Each structure stands twice: as C-alpha cells, then as structure tokens.
Structure 1
Amino acid sequence: MIPFVMRVRAPELRGRRWLNTGGVAPDLRGKIVLLDFWTFCCVNCLHVLDELRPLEEEFGDVLVVVGVHSPKFAHEGDPAAVEAAVERYGVTHPVLDDPSLTTWDAFAARAWPTLTVIDPEGYVVAQMAGEGHAHGLRVLLSSLVSRFSTVLRRGDSPYVPPPPPSTSLRFPGKVVALPGGAGSVVTPGGFLVSDTAHHQVVLVDASFAELRRYGSGVRGEPFSEPQGLAVLPPSVASVVGYDVVVADSVNHSLAGLRLADGMVTRVAGTGTPLRERVLPGAAAVELSTPWDVVWWERGEPAAAVGEGGVDDAAGPSGAAGSSGTAGPSGAAGPSGATGPGAAGAGLRGVVAVAMAGTHQIWTFDPLTGEVEVLAGTTNEGLRDGPVSDAFFAQPSGLAVSDGTLWIADSETSAVRSLSLSSTPQVSTAVGLGLFDFGFRDGPADSALLQHPLGVAVLPDGSIAVADTYNGAIRRIAHGRVTTLARDLAEPSDVLVDGDTLVVVESAAHRLVRLPIPAGAQVDAGAHTVRRSPVDLAPGPVSLRIDFTPPTGQHLDTRFGDPTVLTVEASPSSLLLSGSGTAPGLARSLSLAPGEGVLSVSVAAAACDLGDAVFAACHRYQQDWGVPVRVVEGAPSELVLDLRAVDS
C-alpha cells in the first residue's frame, strides 16, 4: 500500500455507462470510495472481488466500492460481455464500464487489479496493486471512519440489483461424461455440468435434460463457483468413497462428490487462497483457484508433438482431517506440497489440476491425499522447457492424450502440452505471449487465439480448443490451426461424445452439440480397413473445391474473395509447389512421385440475399486429409466438395 503524503483530488469517474445502479451515476458525496480497477479475465481480480465482500459488509454503511472495469482483451470491451461478467461473478456494487481506459489512465493505474481509496472529501488517500490487501484496507477504512465521523454520509447504498436470472443453468463452466451401465446412478451417455453461478453441480442425460442437482445453491455451501470435474476410475472411487473430484474455484479447494447420495467432502485445500510460492518440502496445503481437473494415467508413452502443433501419430468415510486433505481412511493425508517435477515420470493415476491462481499445474492423489506442484514457477508468462522452469498464465482447461497433458493457458491465449518424458517438458502448440492475441488461422507458430478455457482430444488425435473470447471452437492439427465453429457465446469447455462435440456455451447458459467435421474424424472402417489412396499424376495437378451456397445466400465478392484455401503435404517433399494459404477455391499444384497425404483446408463466407450492406454472413469450413499415390498415367485433377446445408 502506498500512502499519499500530499492531498490529491480524485479525478472524475468517466466511462461508457454505469452498471448495478439503474444506469445512473451513483451519488458518492460524503462516502468513502474504494475503486477496484479490474478486468474479468484476470484471476487476481476475481480474488479481489472475494476479498472485498467482507469489507463491503462490515463498512457498508459508509463505504461504496466502485468496480472500474478496464479491459485487457478485445472481447472484454463488449458491452454484453461486461454485463454478463458482473452477474457471473456476483458483483454487488456499482460498476463503471471503462472500455477506453479513460478512468484507468486518469488514476494512473498500471496493473490489474489496482485499488484506490478516496476519502469523503474527494481526495485520494491510498493506491495499491494486486491482491491480498484486505487487512490493510480494513485498518485504513477504520481510520477514515474515525477521522471523518462528522462528515460521513451513512446509509443509502447506490447498488441496484439486476433482474433475477431465469435460466436453468447459469454460466456453466465445465462438463464431463459419466459412464453408464449396471449399478450406475446415471443412464448411459449422461454428463455432469458445473453450474458455476448457481454454485452447484448438475447431472443431465444425453439430451441435456436435468436429472439431479448437487449442492445447496448457496455460495460456499458446499460449492463456490465450481469449475472442473474429474471422474475417478471405479477402482479408486470404491476406496476413497467419492466418485468425482470438483475444482471448487472460489473455495480454493478440491471437493469429492459421491453421486449416489450427494455427499460432498473437501479433499484438498483449506478454503484460504495460497499466496506464497510453494517450495519443496513446504508444509502447505492451501490451493489457489483450481479451475480444471482431469484424471491422468501418468507413465503412458507421450504423444509426439510437432513444432507448433500435433503430430498425426499421435477416504471411505469422506471425513477430512485437520489439514484439509483426506486419505483413504478419512484421516488427514500428507500435507506437504512439493516442488515442480517432484512426482517424477513413473507414477500413474493422479488428478491433474490447473491451478489458475498460481499459474501452475499441480497433481492430487486421491489415495494418499497428497498434493504436489508438477510444473510452473508461479511466474505468469509463456516459457517452455523443463517443468521446474516453465511459466504458465492462468491454466484453465485440461485434457489427456496418450499420457500427454494438454493445457488451455488462458492469459497467454495459448495451448501448451506437458510430456512426462525422462526429463518432463512443457511445450507450446499455439500462442505467443501475455499480450499477443487475436483470431487467426494458419501455421501454429503464427495463429492466434483469445483467452481459451477448454481443450479436448479429437478422435484423430488432434486438439479441439474452446477459444472462449473468440466465441469459437478451433482445431490444432499438423502444425496448423483451423476454425471448426464460430458465433458461440463464450464457450468454456469442449468434450468429445461419439461423433459430436459437447460444448459448454457459458454465456448462453447451455450445453450444445456440434458435429465433428469430417476432417477431424477417424473413418468408420479405420480399425479394420486402410483407406485406399487417390491416384494422381506427377507434375501439374488441378485442385478444385466445389461449393454452392445454400438457397437464399450468395458469395459476396464486393470486398474481395470471401474464400480461403490452405494446402500442405506430408511428407512436404510430395508437394513441389502450390502449398500455403491464399484466397480462392482452386489451386494449381505440382506433385512429386511417391505416396503421402494432402492436407486441404477451405473456408468460405456466404451472405444472405437482400440488403447488401447489412446482410448476415455465414462461415463454411472443412478440412481434408487425402491419402494420395502419385503415379504416371493417373488423373491430373482433384475435386473436393464443400457441402452447404440447404436452408
């Protein structure tokens, strides 16, 4: 905390609009004002929201907290997204929407979060950055109440609550499939969903119809903004006495949920967020905003990771002990959290934890209660290498493929992987750093995401990404990034279910199914029949994509070609010319004799007929992996069909 020696008059609060006030600027005269400069992507900002709740209650008669939402990501400047975030995180004070950072600059804020205290006479008395200031704020506020007791205006809170929500789910976070069958509490094909803003976990059937809710729905009893869900193997669940591990994010803990009777037990964490670096041998069990969890059979051969992308080869009693971790007997398990990589590569069967609050990957062993730091130094950033040296930035989504852990590293807009080789390593498949983001397909080393929160492994071993702030599902394959779906409302998780993707469309408060594009699926006969190659002639070959817009739509070329075509080959020596990305639905190729795979990706935008200026446009996209054999006398033309659904 930096006290102001000279009295500095607080600048005017200016922004786009006010939220939680009925749309009017609040009357702050005679009040102590605490400005909270925040942005909803920032986990430290979310921590501060929770730190301020007790202070708002204690000093509510004289204190007005004003959230100044100053965005980092482009999506965070969207008015609807700001409104959703205010509701999602239970903000119960006035919020100034500051998309141009006008008030941020006026108060010389330099970090998210920044807290500024203004006395009842309108002067800045303190400014502090980061989290963990609750105690100092309490002391300062008590001093200001005493000092300005004669001028303080009490009562009359300016907070106006929004209309109550009406949807069954409210900002759901994550989804996991449950095994069905004899003795199961669910029908085959059922799912568990973390109903984050309702502070519950919900069981739904294959059609997403609600079957049962777990938890009271009251914040903190027993869940507080639950996120990730990991189903334990039956052999483990039968020993520990619960079936699912829940990342209970705001309770800073892992909870064990028994599906049969709904019993919930804290199995790791104390409910207090960890604020210090976890060192080897430290007796620390505090966690910090666990965001996702996944069961990880460690020791499996790691999937091969190409440069910038995916290689095609690709306690029964439930009672927690005093330390907050429960072992098989219900007594407290080992409480030591050890340093990065201490677990080693040979162990198997743990819950991997995306510890967003400390920018690390941890593990939790349900059988012993042990929690360990596996990767990350707590430094926020993007750095690859040995797990003890790697940097992460709010890891928020996890998936496992052949022993490799895939990580949606949200604040770096990246997808990372962790391979337990002889020397465990962290690699980056897509992503450039904390301040580089966007919406760009193409080579993985230059493609861009925007704050992804979820990852999944597709049937062919490629990686699907819930690209949350772009409202899209992306795919990483063969060192390239493509887009599978767009126009989703903050997709926060993605799950493969047969030949479809189950997507958590968080800001739309629902689950949706999307077809997995043919290019990302294994052929129906892949286990028994090898696909026959397409014979093509060596030398010049004409590639053409046939695409007919559906009825009522057309290709609008007024502003350039609305199509883009990407062609690559494996091995790359097969394709002598014609590789790369360019507009158009046709390409002249030159092929060398031999065998391999042509990778073709196309996207086309077709617009509705009618008003040429304001017509809605629609994206059509497809990937192909075409096995080819280049031999003399074969055809010199390859035609692929981009199918459009007729409207």
Structure 2
Amino acid sequence: MPGKRAFLNRIHFIVALIALLTAGSLIHTSTVLADEKTPATKTKQADQDKDLAEKNPFPNRPKAPSLDGGTEWLNTSGEITLKDLRGKVVLIDFWTYCCINCMHVLPDLAYLEAKYPNELVVIGCHSAKFDNEKETENIRRAIQRYEIKHPVINDSNMTVWRKYGVRAWPSMVLIDPEGNYCGHLSGEGNRELLDKVLERVIAYHRAKGTLDETPVHFELEAARLKQTPLKFPGKLLADEPHQRLFISDSNHNRIVITSLDGKLIDVIGSGQIGKQDGDYKTASFDHPQGMALVGNTLYVADTENHMIRTVDLDKKQVSTLAGTGEQARYRSPGGKLRESALNSPWALAEINGVLYICMAGPHQIWQHKLGSDDISVYAGSGREDITNGPLDTSAFAQTSDIAVDGDVFYVVDSEGSAVRKVDTKKKSVTTVAGTSDLERGRSLFEFGDKDGIGNQARLQHPLGVLYDNGRLFVADTYNHKLKTIDLKTNEVKSFLGTGKDGNAL
C-alpha cells in the first residue's frame, strides 16, 4: 500500500544518504569512474558492469509512478511524462505556495538546477493545502512571484501526492535516469544532502551510459509578466503625519516612497538582489516585506536575506541592524545582533522602544530593544500550531503581520488562519478569531469564509492586519476579502470583497 511503501522507501533513502556521506564512498568515486571509462575486453566489460551495478546508490528500486492525474501543467508548453525525462535525474518537489518551509526549499532547488543544468530536471508538484491554492491562475502567479524556473503540476486533487505516498510539505522524491523510484525526503535544509546524492547518482549513470545530458528548455510563466511599476509588492506602511507611503516592492528588491495619492518621492535600493549597505542607489535587498517607522528611521524586514535593515531617511543611508545573511536552521534563541542568524523576518512593529518581529520561519515573535546589541525570542515555542497561554509555551503558525494598540499587539497567523493577541503587560497570548488549542495541530487545517464571533469565525490564510479605534481590519487574503473584528466582542464581519479575486472597486 502507498503508506507502507512510502515508509520503506524513506528508510531506504535515508540509509543510502548515510552511506553516501561516509568518507570512503565519496573520496574514491572519481578514481573508480575514471578507470571504468577505459576500453576493456568482453570479460573485463562483464566485470566492469558488475562493478558498476554494485556501486548503484539505489539498486533494485521499483519503477516510479506516473505523473498523470494533475489538473494542468504550468511553466512548460504541455504535459510531461517520466518517459520524456528518461536519461535525466528527476527531483519532484511536493509543495504548496502558502508554506514558509516550501518557500525555503526554492533557493536550494535553484542552486541544484544551476549546478546540474543538463543532468537534473526538477518538477514541482503543487498539492494545495488551502482551497484558494487549487486554482491554476493562483499557482501561475505564485510561480511568477517565487521566480520558479521548472515545470509545475497543479495536483489539485492530490492524485500524484497519493501515488507517491507523500505525507508532508515540502517533500522531495528522487527518480533516477532509468525511471526508478529512489525514495523521498521531507522538510527543508537538505541542500548539501541532496547535492551529495545527486553527485553520486549522476556519476554512476554517466559511467553506465544511461545519463542524457542534452539541454532541456521550458516555456516559463515569467515570459507572460508585463513590465509594471511595482512587482508583487508585499507590504505597505502609511506615514500620515508626513503624507507618504512606504511600499515594499518585493520582487523589485526595493522600497518605494510615494505621496498618499501615489506620486513618486524616492526609491530605496538599486533593485539588485543583495545585502549591500550604502546610499539609496547602491544599497540592495532581497525581497523585503514589512516595515516600521520610528522617528526618521525606517526598519525593514529584509526577508530573503534573513536580516533587519535600517534606513536613515535624513541621510538616505541603508544599514544592517541584525542577521548574518544566512537562514537560521534551528530554533535559535538569538544573541548579538550581527552574530544571530534570523529566519524569514516578515513584519515589524515598535512598542515603547522595543521592535517586535514576526519571524515567519520558526513561527515566533522576536524582540529587539532599540539601542541595545541584542535580539531574542519574545513569544512562541517554535512549534507550528495555534496554542494560547504564556509567551514561552504559546504556539504560532507563520506569523505574517502585526498591528499595535498601546501595550498590546495583534498578529495574523497565516497558516493557522487565525488572529492572535499578545499582551506585553500580562505576558500572554490569546486567539481573537479562528480556532486554537485543538489536538495534533488540527487548528492548522480549520479554515473557511465565515463571519461570526471568536472561534466560530473562519478565515483563510490572512496576511495583513491594521488596528483602528477599537477595530481590526484583516486582509483575509485567500478569501479575497477585507474583514473587521470588533475587539469588544471579537465579532468578525466581512467588510469588502465578494470572495472572488479581481480589482473592481
């Protein structure tokens, strides 16, 4: 059965990975393969074939299930079969575009695609978590936003997911050039592991003559994108006293400043991906998101650089406040500002001289006392869930935006489709809208489009929140609505939007 097969394949894959990472199996590879290319007699050829077979990192594997069953193929001109890919190493990435862990895998895939351009083909299998993610056009926009350069299947009915016995996002399935299913690996942070495996599989099949290194090209969705002044802007900050807007022009890797009626004032950043400090024209970002304005200093969540940047609006200078430029791979407690790796900072807010940070990667809220040299976890155990209680035992699910009301701030937990309240005086976390404290992370899968009070209301992957005079305005993103929450009663009401995407006013 699929479940049992997936379990056994995973064990086999992990055992093979461990074996491949031992010193001997890698150090001698080049010498052995060089010898195997030497012309030989029939007897020697037979010995060589036997020797090659013994060195197959994934021997006696079953044929991989087909890729048919998806709704549509994207980022390519048409449907692709495993027969079409015979001779290539194939890596299937099972993902869903809402998921921060899936986002973290994409740079690893891009690295591997660049390193093995003629040997490896990555296929994205988009098996949606949320209803909104099943729509082909939404996946197309996600492909464009994430700058994905490999084919993607819309597996809206999870047909391919079930064929391969996948149980979690993200998961990687490896198929060798002969179409054999090698196994799968779940989670993020596996770049080096996959690189070592690919290196060995490619070397083996190149020596055997079963590797096809003919270049392949795909018709990418990026070609459909029109040139626009903004490109997938992520966050917006209004500075009413100075009549200006700060716009995270995320896919242009810059911050745009305009007047409240949209007239351009200035642009912060060169537009190139990077982490360079300096003046507005030379500084660089990597897909920035949330911002906070304190005096004349703009704080920026430089999300894909995993850094917090500052902008001196008087001197027009960009500096790095926190982060090493590398993603934190474990549940870091924090430390010195420039020595502590961060993990996808997404939104920022300041209360009483403390900068609070929605750290989407580890599902936490972090803090930095302005003027100090430290940054640390403020709330959240790091477990992905919707759990109320004291700061250290509470749980969040991909914190994505933050709004302030005095000593209290509100957070949208996008993966839990919930709005949370964090009281800095009481040191507690509660849920304002959506479910919480359900068994085994079930809150992560309780979503919908339903007005109501507190835990009776349903949202779908909200990404924005704003406080105003006793009410919250929530961007109920995957429902294509703006909703309000009366903070006296926790009543959630639809405010704007029909529930269908569009730009009508």
TM-score by length of 1: 0.63
Aligned counterpart for 2:465 among listed residues 439, 448, 455: 455
Residue type matched to 2:481 in 1?
A
Q: Distance in 2 between matches of 1:123 and 1:265?
A: 50
Q: Is residue 480 of structure 1 aligned with residue 484 of structure 2?
A: no
- Residues 249 and 19 (structure 1 numbering): CA distance in 2 closer, same or farther, change over 3 Å? same
1:170 match? 231
For residue 183 of structure 2, give the secondary structure of its aligned residue in structure 1: strand
Q: Distance in 2 between matches of 1:111 and 1:227?
A: 27
Aligned counterpart for 1:293 among listed residues 348, 351, 373: 348
- Residues 18 and 220 (structure 1 numbering): CA distance in 2 closer, same or farther, change over 3 Å? farther
**Once the 2 structures are TM-superposed, how far is the Cα of residue 424 of structure 1 from its aligned partner?**
0.3
1:559 match? none
Residues 209-608 of structure 1 aligned to structure 2 (within 5 Å): 209-220=263-274, 222-234=284-296, 243-260=297-314, 262-279=316-333, 285-297=340-352, 349-421=353-425, 423-432=426-435, 433-458=443-468, 460-477=469-486, 478-487=489-498
1:158 match? 217
For residue 456 of structure 2, give the secondary structure of its aligned residue in structure 1: coil
**Once the 2 structures are TM-superposed, how far is the Cα of residue 488 of structure 1 from its aligned partner?**
7.5
Q: Distance in 2 between matches of 1:168 and 1:488?
A: 27
Residue type matched to 2:492 in 1?
V
- Is the contact between residue 267 and residue 369 of structure 1 (CA under 8 Å) also seen in structure 2? no
- Residues 263 and 378 (structure 1 numbering): CA distance in 2 closer, same or farther, change over 3 Å? same
Q: Is residue 121 of structure 1 aligned with residue 178 of structure 2?
A: yes
Structure 1 or 2: more strand by fraction: 1
**Once the 2 structures are TM-superposed, how far is the Cα of residue 281 of structure 1 from its aligned partner?**
6.9
Q: Distance in 1 between matches of 2:341 and 2:498?
A: 38
Residue type matched to 2:239 in 1?
L
1:51 match? 108
- Give unpaired runs (5+ residues) of structure 2: 1-9, 14-57, 276-283, 436-442
Q: Distance in 1 between matches of 2:239 and 2:360?
A: 25
- Residues 194 and 280 (structure 1 numbering): CA distance in 2 closer, same or farther, change over 3 Å? closer
4-13 or 357-366, which moves further after superposition? 4-13
Identity across aligned pairs (percent)? 37
Residue type matched to 1:175 in 2?
L
For residue 36 of structure 1, give the secondary structure of its aligned residue in structure 2: strand
- Is the contact between residue 336 and residue 374 of structure 2 (CA under 8 Å) also seen in structure 1? no
**Once the 2 structures are TM-superposed, how far is the Cα of residue 61 of structure 1 from its aligned partner?**
1.5
**Once the 2 structures are TM-superposed, how far is the Cα of residue 265 of structure 1 from its aligned partner?**
2.0
Q: Distance in 1 between matches of 2:199 and 2:334?
A: 39
Residue type matched to 1:475 in 2?
T
**Once the 2 structures are TM-superposed, how far is the Cα of residue 57 of structure 1 from its aligned partner?**
0.5
CA RMSD of aligned residues (A): 2.1
1:621 match? none
- Residues 383 and 90 (structure 1 numbering): CA distance in 2 closer, same or farther, change over 3 Å? same
Q: Distance in 1 between matches of 2:311 and 2:334?
A: 30
Residue type matched to 1:429 in 2?
V
81-90 or 274-283, which moves further after superposition? 274-283
1:90 match? 147
Q: Distance in 1 between matches of 2:460 and 2:451?
A: 12
TM-score by length of 2: 0.81
2:47 match? none
- Give unpaired runs (5+ residues) of structure 1: 181-187, 235-242, 298-348, 491-506, 515-647
- Residues 368 and 65 (structure 1 numbering): CA distance in 2 closer, same or farther, change over 3 Å? same
Structure 1 or 2: more helix by fraction: 2
Residues 104-143 of structure 1 aligned to structure 2 (within 5 Å): 104-143=161-200
Q: Distance in 1 between matches of 2:320 and 2:195?
A: 29
**Once the 2 structures are TM-superposed, how far is the Cα of residue 11 of structure 1 from its aligned partner?**
0.8
Q: Distance in 2 between matches of 1:367 and 1:94?
A: 47
**Once the 2 structures are TM-superposed, how far is the Cα of residue 351 of structure 1 from its aligned partner?**
1.2
Q: Distance in 1 between matches of 2:287 and 2:499?
A: 22
Q: Distance in 1 between matches of 2:122 and 2:12?
A: 19
1:543 match? none
- Is the contact between residue 386 and residue 424 of structure 1 (CA under 8 Å) also seen in structure 2? yes
1:303 match? none
- Is the contact between residue 334 and residue 376 of structure 2 (CA under 8 Å) also seen in structure 1? no
**Once the 2 structures are TM-superposed, how far is the Cα of residue 2 of structure 1 from its aligned partner?**
4.2
Q: Distance in 2 between matches of 1:165 and 1:142?
A: 38
- Residues 487 and 211 (structure 1 numbering): CA distance in 2 closer, same or farther, change over 3 Å? farther
Task: Report Cα offsets for 1:297-336 as digits up to 9, x if no partner.
Answer: 2xxxxxxxxxxxxxxxxxxxxxxxxxxxxxxxxxxxxxxx
- Is the contact between residue 94 and residue 158 of structure 1 (CA under 8 Å) also seen in structure 2? no
How many residue pairs get aligned? The number is 426
1:321 match? none
Task: Report Cα offsets for 1:568-621 as digits up to 9, x if no partner.
Answer: xxxxxxxxxxxxxxxxxxxxxxxxxxxxxxxxxxxxxxxxxxxxxxxxxxxxxx
Structure number with bigger Rg: 1
**Once the 2 structures are TM-superposed, how far is the Cα of residue 260 of structure 1 from its aligned partner?**
4.5
